[in-house]
């Protein structure tokens, strides 16, 4: 159908697929034929140092951000999109500078620059979209050249999610800024709906009743608070 007919969440693609995949690569968690001497792999001691540095930085940032500064060596499997976003925008450059070859550092930073333009609650200009396209093409071409390498033995690194990054610019032109088609609000809504089902034998009818009751309660609450504030306080305490 194409990306414009069925837009997908750019945040899902980048932060829950591509960025975690890159972490597995340079942390040595995904090896090709058990080779641990790839140029992009940092030592285990350096990975441990990453974790300690992130934990040490927790006390320097607001509490809302501190969760994303957990020890990445230990907790990377439980990182959510917001944690990978914080890592990609705020931590990666400091952690990797001087610790991996410059060509791979530039590869990772190209994706970070893309994220800085994509994941913000405002529009993007034509110049910014053109810059995003330039950085994505640089990242994708260098990933396939330097990490995948185009050989049969490294086929496990030829990932469709990397090539899918090339669709992002088409999505921006067709659907607007990335945040307009984020799927996380709908996921939260679906998660909330499941908790409203109290009957296994009649789930659809039961869900409809609870949703209707909740919507009516929200409507009464908003009306009372806005138009009858004194009476609402007296009625609710």
Q: Are residues 209 and 171 in the same domain?
A: no
Q: Are residues 174 and 201 in the same domain?
A: no
Q: Are residues 131 and 223 in the same domain?
A: no
Pull the structure tokens for residue 124: 């993007």
The predicted pLDDT at position 176 comes to 87
Q: Chain centroid to CA 189: how far? A: 18
Q: Chain centroid to CA 158: how far? A: 21
Q: Are residues 154 and 230 in the same domain?
A: no
pTM value surpassing 0.85: no
Give the position of tokens 């509490």.
Answer: 63
The predicted pLDDT at position 4 comes to 59
Q: Are residues 127 and 177 in the same domain?
A: yes
Q: Chain centroid to CA 126: how far? A: 24
Q: Are residues 112 and 203 in the same domain?
A: no
Q: Are residues 45 and 149 in the same domain?
A: yes
Query: 165: closest CA among 24, 11, 4?
Result: 11
Residue 118 domain boundaries: 10-181
Q: Are residues 88 and 203 in the same domain?
A: no
Do the Cβ atoms of 227 and 216 come closer than 8 Å? no
Q: Are residues 96 and 138 in the same domain?
A: yes
CA distance 237 to 229: 12
Do the Cβ atoms of 9 and 184 come closer than 8 Å? yes
Q: Domain total for the chain?
A: 2
Q: Are residues 23 and 135 in the same domain?
A: yes
CA distance 153 to 172: 35
**One pLDDT digit (tens) per residue for the chain, 237 residues:** 456 566 778 888 999 999 999 999 999 998 888 888 888 898 899 999 999 998 888 888 888 778 788 889 898 999 988 889 889 888 888 888 888 899 999 998 999 999 999 988 888 899 999 999 999 999 999 999 999 999 999 999 999 899 999 999 998 998 888 888 887 777 778 888 888 888 889 889 998 999 899 899 999 999 999 999 999 999 887
Pull the structure tokens for residue 121: 């609650």
Q: Where are the alpha helices (DSSP H) in the chain?
A: 10-13, 19-26, 44-56, 63-66, 72-75, 81-86, 92-96, 102-118, 126-142, 160-164, 168-175, 184-194, 203-227, 229-236
Q: Are residues 80 and 153 in the same domain?
A: yes
């Amino acid at each position: 159908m194409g990306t414009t007919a069925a837009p997908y969440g750019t945040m899902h693609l980048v932060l829950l697929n591509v960025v975690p995949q890159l972490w597995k690569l340079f942390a040595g968690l995904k090896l090709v034929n058990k080779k641990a001497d790839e140029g992009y792999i940092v030592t285990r001691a350096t990975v441990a140092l990453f974790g300690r540095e992130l934990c040490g930085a927790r006390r320097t940032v607001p509490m809302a951000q501190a969760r994303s500064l957990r020890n990445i060596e230990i907790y990377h499997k439980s990182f959510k999109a917001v944690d990978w976003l914080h890592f990609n925008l705020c931590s990666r450059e400091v952690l990797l500078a001087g610790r991996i070859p410059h060509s791979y550092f530039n590869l990772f930073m190209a994706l970070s620059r893309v994220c800085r333009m994509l994941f913000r609650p405002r529009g993007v200009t034509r110049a910014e979209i053109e810059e995003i396209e330039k950085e994505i093409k640089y990242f994708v071409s260098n990933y396939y050249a330097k990490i995948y390498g185009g050989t049969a033995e490294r086929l496990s690194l030829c990932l469709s999610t990397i090539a899918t990054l090339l669709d992002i610019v088409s999505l921006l032109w067709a659907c607007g800024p990335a945040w307009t088609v984020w799927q996380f609000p709908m996921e939260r809504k679906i998660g909330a709906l499941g908790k409203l089902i109290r009957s296994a034998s009649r789930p659809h009818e039961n869900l409809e009743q609870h949703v209707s009751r909740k919507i009516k309660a929200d409507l009464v609450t908003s009306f009372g608070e806005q138009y009858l504030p004194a009476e609402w306080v007296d009625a609710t305490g």
